[in-house]
């Protein structure tokens, strides 16, 4: 009997409640005290198309999805056709034989059991609507893995309580119908079960939710954005919770307006942020340069999806690293960071606001669909660890001294004091032309060199303030996997799998990619036996950046561009292949 380790997946057409059911199952597993990771896939269609939600629960720490499935809830035949190859020995496929017939012999899988449950009929009988069929499937799943019905009811109440007692009762009734049907009709032994256990307090949330909470903890005042998957849920979160924390939230007419309103808000003295995906960021790049030349603090979320152009709108990848590093014309300092999990999303977003204010420059948070939308376990956040540093505000003496205030004063560290709007003596010019220390447009070579060098000088000071990358796993290893952003989770989960194949590995994970931690990365690569860069693109963007910044070439590269995240099993196989 495999206790407290289960890979559960539900699949069906868009509009059939796949996402909400998947999140309910994930929260049920979390309620039991298990470690949980949930990953969703869906096409860019309003209705129709194949949707799935894959939840992996285990007693052991997990940081990514898995390829295997032990319990598949198939709301249509297509789900069986597409995912039967993922089934583990002893697994069960739960489906509604009254809605579609299957020929078990057609699949030729003797190690899998098929179990027909009249999901739609039970939903109509219990709740008088087939809309509840996903909740019936949830109850049936609980009965199969021996989850107590009281636990299921408690989770349903917690999720639907805001919709009223009637909705809670109907869902509990539908779940009970599925639960009792399995208990009365399933007479085989199932190898998997879930049992509640004591665990440390934790959160279960997506990367975008964690990022939004980090922004709130940092004291964000303005969020402006135009919806674009997979960054849209940040706008949704901010609209729902921002106003009660004093945040002005605006859905603008397009991405150009979004970044310009954020720049304007920041010039007005408040903490401002915008968010989008690669296509929207393409529209923002000219304004990004303006933020750079007027030295205005700005935080930008760029949640990647595969391009070019519209590409794969609802899928993920790491195609935009080089793009954000060089976006907009000219040379100006920026910070680019790529968190790898919800915990880093929270704390590094809070830090992004400090960096933007301290160094008066744009900070780009580079995420992707896998991190933005997957639901994962993370320790409870500690707001006491979040500090707020607004940087150099001009003093009364600077503003009202014997000389006129110079907003762009050439300083040793490149950072000039900025006035709080409305302060007497703090008038200055800010436009997109090169300028002198007062902000007046100037074109002399001496002025250009002074201001351009001043801005670029900030990067050396930023670099000294950033933490070095972290190495996970044994210090002495045969293989060092180098990754950035969301590949962190599957890379870490692959270490145990690699060990089973006789390969002792560790992981060097990069969060800050600009300015690049050249000295530290070079040292790690020079002392590693074998280095393998793993990233979700096929042009080896990070591997190329490493070589450019350190002179060190990775021994091997592992890349892909199919819109799907890496799995630990995939990384394990690829590492074994390149080492042959």
pLDDT averaged over 10-residue windows placed end to end, the chain, 580 residues:
88 90 96 97 86 97 97 97 96 96 91 96 90 93 95 92 92 96 93 93 97 98 98 98 98 98 97 98 98 98 96 96 97 98 98 98 98 97 96 94 93 96 90 95 97 97 96 95 98 98 98 97 96 98 98 98 97 96
Burial class (CB in 10 A: 0-12, 13-18, 19+), 233: buried
Tell me if 74 sits within 8 A of 95, measured CB to CB.
Answer: yes
What token pair was written down for 484?
């950035």
| CB burial readout 4-31, b (16+ within 10 A) else e | bbbbbbbbbbbebbbbebbbbbbbbbbb
Q: What are phi and psi of 77, to 5 degrees?
A: -70, -30
Q: Residue 42: exposed, middle, or buried by beta-carbon count in 10 A (0-12, 13-18, 19+)?
A: middle
pLDDT of residue 148: 93
**Residues contacting 463, CB < 8 A, separation 6+:** 515, 517
Quote the pLDDT of residue 422. Answer: 87
DSSP, collapsed to helix, strand or coil, labels residue 210 as helix
Give the architecture-level CATH label for domain 470-578. Answer: 3-Layer(aba) Sandwich (3.40)
Report domain extents, the chain: 2-199, 205-385, 396-465, 470-578
Residues 393, 415 contacting (CB under 8 angstroms):
no
**Superfamily (CATH) of domain 205-385:** Thiamin diphosphate (ThDP)-binding fold, Pyr/PP domains (3.40.50.970)
Tell me, yes or no, if the two domains 2-199 and 470-578 fold the same way: no
For domain 2-199, give its CATH number from 3.90.550.10, 1.20.58.1030, 3.40.920.10, 3.30.70.270. 3.40.920.10
* Residue 5, φ and ψ in degrees, nearest 5: -145, 110
Burial (0-12, 13-18, 19+ Cβ within 10 Å), 333: buried
Query: ∠538-544-546 over CA atoms, to 5°?
Result: 130
Are the CB atoms for 342 and 378 separated by under 8 Å?
yes
Identify the pLDDT of residue 1.
Answer: 58
Cα–Cα distance, 426 to 251 (Å, whole number): 31
């Amino acid at each position: 009997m495999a206790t407290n380790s289960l890979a559960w997946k539900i699949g069906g057409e868009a509009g059939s409640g796949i996402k909400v059911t998947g999140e309910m199952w994930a929260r049920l597993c979390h309620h039991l005290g298990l470690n949980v990771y949930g990953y969703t896939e869906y096409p860019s269609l309003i209705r129709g198309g194949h949707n799935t939600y894959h939840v992996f629960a285990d007693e052991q720490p997990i940081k990514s999805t898995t390829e295997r499935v032990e319990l598949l809830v198939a709301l249509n035949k297509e789900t069986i056709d597409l995912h039967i190859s993922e089934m583990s020995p002893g697994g069960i496929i739960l489906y509604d034989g009254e809605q579609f017939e299957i020929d078990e012999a057609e699949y030729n899988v003797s190690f899998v059991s098929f179990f027909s449950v009249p999901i739609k009929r039970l939903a109509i009988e219990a709740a008088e609507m087939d809309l509840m069929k996903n909740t019936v499937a949830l109850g049936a799943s609980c009965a199969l893995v021996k989850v107590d019905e009281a636990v299921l009811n408690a989770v349903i109440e917690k999720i639907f309580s805001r919709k009223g007692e009637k909705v809670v009762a109907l869902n509990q009734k539908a779940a009970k119908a599925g639960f009792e049907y399995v208990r009365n009709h399933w007479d085989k032994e199932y190898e998997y079960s879930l049992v509640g256990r004591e665990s440390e307090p934790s959160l279960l949330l997506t990367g975008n939710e964690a990022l939004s909470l980090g922004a709130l903890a940092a004291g964000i005042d303005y969020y402006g954005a135009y919806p674009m998957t997979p960054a849209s849920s940040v706008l949704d979160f901010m609209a729902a919770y921002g106003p009660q924390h004093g945040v002005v939230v605006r859905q603008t007419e397009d991405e150009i307006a979004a970044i310009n309103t954020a720049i304007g808000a920041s010039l007005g003295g408040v903490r401002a942020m915008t968010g989008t995906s690669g296509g929207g960021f393409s529209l923002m790049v000219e304004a990004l340069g303006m933020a750079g030349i007027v030295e205005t603090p700005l935080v930008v979320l760029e949640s990647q999806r595969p391009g070019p152009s519209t590409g794969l709108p609802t899928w993920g990848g790491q195609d935009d690293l080089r793009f954000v590093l060089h976006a907009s014309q000219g040379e100006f300092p920026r910070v680019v960071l790529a968190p790898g999990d919800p915990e880093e999303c929270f704390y590094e977003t809070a830090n992004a606001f400090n960096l933007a204010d301290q160094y008066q420059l744009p900070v780009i948070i580079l995420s992707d669909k896998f991190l933005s939308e997957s639901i994962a376990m993370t320790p409870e956040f500690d707001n006491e660890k979040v500090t707020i540093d607004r940087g150099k505000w001009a003093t009364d003496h600077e503003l009202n001294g014997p000389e006129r205030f110079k907003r762009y004063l050439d300083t040793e560290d490149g950072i000039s004091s900025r006035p709080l709007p409305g302060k007497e003596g703090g008038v200055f010019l800010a436009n997109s032309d090169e300028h002198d220390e007062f902000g007046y447009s100037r074109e002399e070579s001496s002025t250009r060199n002074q201001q351009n060098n001043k801005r670029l000088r900030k990067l050396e000071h930023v670099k000294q303030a950033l933490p070095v990358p972290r190495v996970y796993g044994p210090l002495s290893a045969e293989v060092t996997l180098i990754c950035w952003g969301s590949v962190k989770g599957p890379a870490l989960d692959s270490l145990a799998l690699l060990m089973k194949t006789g390969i002792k590995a560790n992981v060097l994970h990069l969060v800050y990619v600009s300015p690049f931690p050249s000295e530290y990365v070079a040292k790690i690569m020079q002392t590693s036996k074998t280095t393998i860069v793993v990233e979700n693109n096929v042009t080896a963007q990070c591997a190329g950046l490493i070589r450019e910044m350190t002179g060190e070439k990775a021994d091997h590269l592992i890349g892909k561009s199919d819109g799907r995240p890496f799995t630990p099993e995939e990384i394990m196989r690829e590492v074994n292949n390149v080492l042959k």
